[in-house]
Chains A and B, each alone.
Chain A
Amino acid sequence: MTFRDIPDLALADLDRDGAIREAVDRLERSSRSGFLSAAAGGMAAAMALGRPTPAAAALTRGDSAILNYALTLEYLQDAFYTEAERKGALAGPAARLTRVVGAVERAHVKALREVLGRKAVKRPFFDFRGVTEDPPSFVRTAVAFEDLGTAAYKGQAHRIESREVLAAAVGIHSVEARHAAWIRYIAGSAPAAEAFDEGTTKAETLRLVRATGFVVARPRTTVAKTPSFTG
């Protein structure tokens, strides 16, 4: 059985034009993208409002950080598939995957936001720069996202302190691996390239996410200023 020779996709491959580098620089300087540093630091610098849930109260600091890191990646996947579905530029198997996998990632976001309650990091703003509207770019990016999501969960499993949180996380991890194989099959790439899947560290994962330039500062549309409108 031969597969189309698609080289191993890394999110870093998605740096398609110089504008991405500029966006990354701006992102790193921007204090408003505290979202990524919040995810990296583990504590929600920009917290969602919400009732504290019993589940959130029971989470250790370490487990909250891990679940927020997971939520970060689920937000990314959710936004990506949701936008792709809305834009309607895909057809056939890719469109079907977008609907089905998008619905699952939205469920993952919902679950993680609920268990984290007030500790949940806020949903960031994304700029997918046309990738969700261009089928070949979409498929390449989806492969990278699903492989990365799987590797990210895998990299954290042994660090989870609560057995109950671990029990939930492993059930999501294997689903992400199914997604990864599915999109690879659509891409004509090997659904399971190796006998053993490696994990990624949080630092490496977030570095790759940053490199895409997809996470951007929320546009500033509110200002403290006296109007000079016509009145």
Chain B
Amino acid sequence: MRAPRRTRLIGAAALILAAITAAFVSVAIGGDDDDDPPASEADAAAAPALAEPPDPAFEIPPPVELGGSTHESTWAPVKRAATARSAPRLRSGAVGRLAPRTPEGTTNIVLVLDRAKDADGSLWLRVRLPVLPNNTTGWVPRSALGGYGIVRTQLVVDLGDRRATLFRNGKVVFQAVAGVGTARFPTPRGRFYVRNKLTRYRDPFYGPVAFGTSARSATLTDWPAGGFVSIHGTNRPDLLPGAVSHGCIRLPNEAIVRLARLLPIGTPLTIKA
């Protein structure tokens, strides 16, 4: 954009003044060097000496390779309601419905297990579903899910030993005694995942914090809000370890507080006999 006329005239005057000044400076210092061409092009490159670059304010570390993915699991939020199917194509049987929110009002999530393209080239994902029967997986369109989250943790609950163990990158980082379901209201076995965290409530029965999982009681099917199995604290630590609950996994309160600092949502949960 051209500057306004007045500015250009002032600019032009400044140029004239600058050029005259420069000419004086050159003459004053001595014009010898103007007469001789540089002895070599390399000399020309070297003179006059320009300042060195300053040290950079920070260094960049070497490139960071991705570690192995052995202990990694992927989860994704449910963006819109979707039917999970037995195969990665529209014309296959439904195995469950996915809702975008949980009964607790949090964003529903699923564990992502596999990927496939259908005949049209659309992406489908096989996911672990929070439905009955337990351990159900199904295929949903990629577009039904949001961005991937990665965890490197794994939670294992051993019903026989009545113990909960958290692994991170394959190493034990947490362990505690647990209360599990009675024979009448057993804790379901198999593969699940942690899908939400409930906090800031006052109900000593559940202790200070509760984690909802994708596992559901197969016996308490009439339980409001789906009868989901959760991991929570307790006001009866004297009962632990033991088969004492309606299916939930109870930990001593100090343990659940410790676990809460270590357990990311989306962590896969294995419940062993």
Contacts and interface: CB of A to CB of B under 8 A. Distances in A.
Q: Do chains A and B touch in the complex (CB under 8 A)?
A: yes
Interface of A: 19, 55, 58-59, 82-83, 85-87, 89, 99-100, 102-104, 106-108, 110-112, 114-115, 125-130, 133-134, 162-165, 167-168, 171-172, 216, 219-231
Pairs of residues from A and B, 4 with the lowest C-beta to C-beta distance, nearest first? A127-B147, A103-B63, A168-B56, A106-B64
B72 to A, nearest CB: 7
A231 B58 contact: no
Given A168-B58, A221-B196, A85 B66 contact: yes
Given A219-B109, A229-B212, A163 B206 contact: no
B147 A216 contact: yes
A82 B74 CA distance: 13
Given A111-B61, A167-B54, A225-B201, 8 more contacts: A83-B148, A86-B69, A89-B115, A125-B149, A130-B142, A130-B143, A222-B106, A224-B201
Interface string B193-236: 00111111111011000101000010010011101111010000
Contacts of B147: 125-129, 216
Contact of A216 (B146, B227, B232): B146
Contacts of A87: 115
Nearest to B185: A230
12 contacts: A82-B66, A89-B115, A104-B63, A112-B58, A129-B147, A133-B115, A172-B60, A219-B149, A224-B201, A227-B201, A227-B212, A228-B104
Contacts of B36: none
Of the candidates B64, B65, B196, B229, the one having the most CB atoms from chain A within 10 angstroms of its own CB is B64
Nearest to B74: A86
Contact of A86 (B72, B223, B265): B72
A117 B220 CA distance: 50
Nearest to A55: B58
B150 interface: yes
A126 B248 CA distance: 33
Contacts of A82: 66
Nearest to B247: A230
Contacts of A55: 57-58
A89 B217 CA distance: 37
B93 interface: no
A168 B103 CA distance: 50
A88 to B, nearest CB: 9
B139 to A, nearest CB: 14
B234 to A, nearest CB: 9
Contacts of B61: 107, 110-111
B33 interface: no
Contacts of A165: 56-58
A164 B55 CA distance: 6
A55 B58 CA distance: 8
B54 A223 contact: no
Contacts of A228: 103-104, 224-225
Of the candidates A83, A108, A227, the one having the most CB atoms from chain B within 10 angstroms of its own CB is A227
Contact of B198 (A85, A129, A130, A223): A223
B136 interface: no
Given A227-B210, A231-B206, A164 B265 contact: no
Interface string B113-149: 0010000000100000000000000000011001111
Nearest to B62: A107
